[in-house]
């Protein structure tokens, strides 16, 4: 084959492959828009190669026009580079790429303008070269066309090369591969300029253009389409086998004569290679049927199919609880294994469910705690698998894997359902709180009427009525505080004066002690903190009243992260039953006349301040409540 025919063949192959690749990319651009400008690049490469072919068939004017349209190639490639690199940028120093992206339509418009000017001006000539009747040479305005094309192509490659810094992992590798492949293509394509520069070199690099196009597309989509990787893997295997076959045929043809087989030695090498390639293709076509036959011979009996596995997945996903999953699993696997199977689902040593039918063959799925704290790890075992044939054993293992996945999904679904149930319960409590607040407001009106009506009765009865009205008013006030929404208004205030004013309300016979720094300041809502201390003091006074040696002590100290306030008294110790998580719940008070909401309100206010309260054990004080309030932005002194 002479050089002119080789040139025409390779460019024809490049044009056809570029056209097919462009259509394929355009079809997939429905799901990945970044491929659309790459499809335009492939189409323009097909047009460019078609221009060279037109010149070889004396179509001079169309050939020149198609070749002079080459600025559109880098214009489309620049659009692709900008779309591919700026999809998910990670570095702000590449903002210039985003600026180029905003003006990318202007580059395309400028390319169209250069093409139109090239068509209207003397830009190219042809001459006989390398045994070809005509070969394209730049002339006149064509040099500007060439310079613009090269500069635009370099800009596109610079965008890709610089944009690689914005990504890590697969995307980074993909950008590097595209940059290197595209740079190779730029060098291959520009080899046709040699004659225009007076270099009498045959453009051998242009003969490799079909391979360049394949490498470019593969470097773009290899990390995005699994089908492309599978196809490339098979193609590489076939290519390696074909090369090995070619070497083998060359070796055999040289040895045929030495082994007394001159007839075979006289057969042309290309015929041997062609016959061997046909045998290779036939062997590749027969591989799948032969492998299926081998599977049936080695694994006789029930054959797994995609439809069977899909049906298993669908049926197992319908189970709403553990028992239903066990029963459904036993029903599904019974027929393929040709015997009854008992399904046992366990969580550690706890049996979650098992199928009703008792069988010697069991399939057990056990959940254990995962080491990486990702939840439960499910695994299956078949204690009686020794009696199964290889096919049935494979079937049981596949079904067990599906059952393991179903157990994980069911566990997640049940956990989600429980979370939704708790959310509904929480919402119900919120509604009850709103109802309680509304009722508390409504109760104040009849209480006021009763208070006014009691003015007409005798003094003793009026005293009893007023006492109960005050108790009811206190209960209503506590309900409003507990059920209402806490809105804090924090400020910086000295703590000691507030505590001293509350301790002045101590009843006769109760001694008070205060131990805290005089300059201690607290950043919190002073009204809410007063409520907390008032409730704690009232509870203490109720038990200390009329008790010999009664004492209430308040201590406070600070650290780098929190303020600690201790309220202690030497009254009777709390009931141990209340200390087991019940102390700060509403309506568990044992104090006569109490509303049962005092400590619950205290805990709610402290929690709203991002603090905590607890009852501590102190050898010198039977009752000790400790408040922990956080230091906010270093405001507490």
For the stretch 488-507, pLDDT in tens is 889 999 999 999 999 998 98
Q: What mean pLDDT is predicted for residues 544-557?
A: 91
CATH number of 3-224: 1.20.1070
Phi-psi region of 505 (alpha: psi -120 to 50; beta: other; left: phi over 0): alpha
Does the 488-630 domain belong in CATH 3.60.10.10? no
**Cβ atoms within 10 A of the Cβ of 168, count?**
10
Q: For 572, which DSSP code?
A: P
pLDDT of residue 102: 81
Q: Encode pLDDT of 300-316 as tens digits.
A: 555 667 778 888 888 88
pLDDT tens for 130-171 read 667 777 888 889 889 888 988 988 888 888 777 776 666 666
The DSSP 8-state label assigned to residue 621 in this structure reads: B
Cβ atoms of 247 and 50 within 8 Å: the answer is no
Question: What is the share, in percent, of the chain residues with pLDDT greater than 90?
Answer: 13
Burial 241-252 (b: 16+ CB within 10 A, else e): eeeebbeebeeb
pLDDT at 497: 93
Q: Is the pLDDT of residue 213 over 50?
A: yes
Tokens of 141: 């305005």
For residue 550, name the pLDDT band (cuts at 50, 70, 90). very high
At 25, the pLDDT band (50, 70, 90 cuts) reads: confident
pLDDT at 24 exceeding the cut of 70: yes
The pLDDT score that the predictor gives to residue 245 is 65
Confidence class for position 253, pLDDT limits 50, 70, 90: low
Rounded CA-CA distance 588/514 in Å is 29
Q: Please give the Cα distance from 151 to 619 (Å, whole number).
A: 87
Q: Which residue has the higher pLDDT, 351 or 228?
A: 351
Question: How many Cβ atoms from other residues are within 10 Å of residue 51's Cβ?
Answer: 23
3-state secondary structure 56-121: HCCCHHHHHHHHHCCCHHHHHHHHHHHHHHCCCCCCHHHHHHHHHHHCHHHHHHHHHHHHHHHHHC
Q: Is 512 helix (H, G, I), strand (E, B) or coil?
A: strand
Average pLDDT over residues 539-564: 90
pLDDT band at residue 214 under the 50/70/90 scheme: low
Three-point CA angle 363, 367, 371, nearest 5°:
140
What is the DSSP secondary structure assignment for residue 360, as one 8-state letter?
A: S
What is the tens place of the pLDDT at every residue in 63-80?
Answer: 889 989 989 988 998 888
Residue 496 has what pLDDT? 93
pLDDT at 366: 80
Q: Look at residue 38 and tell me whether its pLDDT is greater than 90.
A: no
8-state DSSP, 387: G
Q: Which residues contact 351 (CB under 8 A, 6 or more apart)?
A: 344, 345
């Amino acid at each position: 084959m002479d050089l002119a025919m080789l040139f025409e063949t390779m460019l024809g192959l490049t044009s056809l492959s570029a056209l097919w690749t462009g259509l394929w990319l355009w079809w997939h651009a429905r799901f990945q828009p970044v491929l659309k400008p790459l499809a335009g690049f492939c189409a323009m490469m097909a047009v460019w190669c078609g221009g060279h072919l037109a010149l070889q068939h004396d179509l001079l004017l169309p050939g020149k026009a198609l070749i002079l349209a080459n600025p559109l190639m880098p214009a489309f490639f620049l659009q692709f580079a900008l779309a591919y690199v700026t999809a998910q940028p990670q570095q702000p120093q590449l903002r210039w790429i985003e600026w180029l992206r905003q003006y990318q339509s202007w580059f395309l418009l400028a390319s169209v303008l250069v093409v139109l000017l090239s068509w209207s001006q003397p830009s190219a000539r042809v001459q006989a070269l390398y045994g070809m009747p005509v070969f394209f040479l730049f002339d006149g305005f064509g040099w500007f066309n060439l310079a613009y094309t090269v500069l635009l192509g370099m800009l596109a490659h610079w965008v890709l090369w610089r944009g690689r810094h914005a990504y890590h992992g697969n995307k980074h590798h993909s950008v590097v591969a595209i940059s290197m492949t595209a740079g190779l293509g730029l060098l291959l394509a520009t080899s046709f300029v040699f004659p225009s520069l007076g270099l009498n070199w045959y453009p051998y690099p242009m003969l490799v253009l079909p391979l360049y196009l394949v490498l470019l597309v593969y470097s773009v989509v290899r990390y995005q389409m699994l089908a492309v990787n599978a196809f490339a893997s098979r193609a590489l295997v076939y290519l390696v086998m074909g090369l090995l076959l070619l070497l083998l045929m060359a070796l055999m043809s040289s040895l045929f004569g030495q082994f007394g087989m001159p007839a075979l030695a006289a057969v042309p090498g290309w015929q041997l290679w062609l016959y061997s390639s046909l045998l290779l293709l036939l062997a590749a076509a027969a591989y799948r049927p032969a492998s299926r036959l081998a599977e049936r011979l080695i694994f006789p009996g029930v054959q797994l199919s995609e439809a069977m596995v899909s049906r298993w997945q669908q049926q197992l996903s319908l189970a709403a609880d553990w028992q239903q999953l066990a029963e459904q699993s036993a029903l599904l696997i019974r027929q393929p294994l040709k015997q009854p199977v008992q399904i046992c689902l366990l969580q550690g040593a706890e049996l979650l469910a098992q199928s009703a039918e008792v069988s010697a063959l069991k399939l057990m799925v056990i959940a254990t705690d995962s080491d990486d704290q990702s939840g439960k790890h499910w695994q299956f075992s078949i204690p009686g698998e020794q009696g199964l044939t290889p096919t049935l054993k494979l079937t049981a293992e596949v079904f067990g894997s599906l059952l393991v996945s179903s157990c994980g999904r069911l566990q997640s679904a049940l956990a989600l359902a429980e979370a939704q149930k708790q959310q509904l319960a929480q919402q119900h409590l919120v509604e009850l709180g709103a109802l309680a607040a509304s009722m508390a407001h409504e109760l104040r009106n009849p209480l006021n009427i009763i208070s006014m009506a009691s003015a007409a009765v005798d003094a003793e009865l009026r005293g009893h009525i007023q006492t109960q009205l005050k108790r009811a008013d206190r209960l209503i006030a506590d309900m409003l505080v507990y059920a209402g929404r806490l809105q804090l208004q924090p400020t910086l205030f000295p703590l000691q004066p507030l505590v001293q004013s509350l301790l002045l309300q101590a009843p006769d016979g109760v001694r008070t002690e205060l131990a805290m720094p005089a300059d201690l300041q607290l950043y919190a809502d002073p009204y809410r903190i007063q409520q907390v201390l008032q409730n704690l003091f009232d509870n203490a006074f109720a038990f200390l009243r009329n008790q010999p040696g009664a004492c209430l002590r308040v201590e406070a100290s600070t650290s780098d992260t929190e303020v600690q306030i201790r309220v202690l008294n030497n009254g009777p110790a709390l009931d141990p039953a209340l200390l087991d998580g019940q102390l700060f719940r509403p309506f568990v008070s044992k104090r006569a006349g109490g509303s049962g909401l005092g400590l619950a309100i205290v805990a709610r206010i402290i929690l709203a301040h991002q603090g905590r309260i607890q009852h501590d054990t102190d050898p010198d004080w039977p009752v000790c409540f400790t408040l922990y309030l956080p230091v906010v932005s270093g405001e507490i002194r």
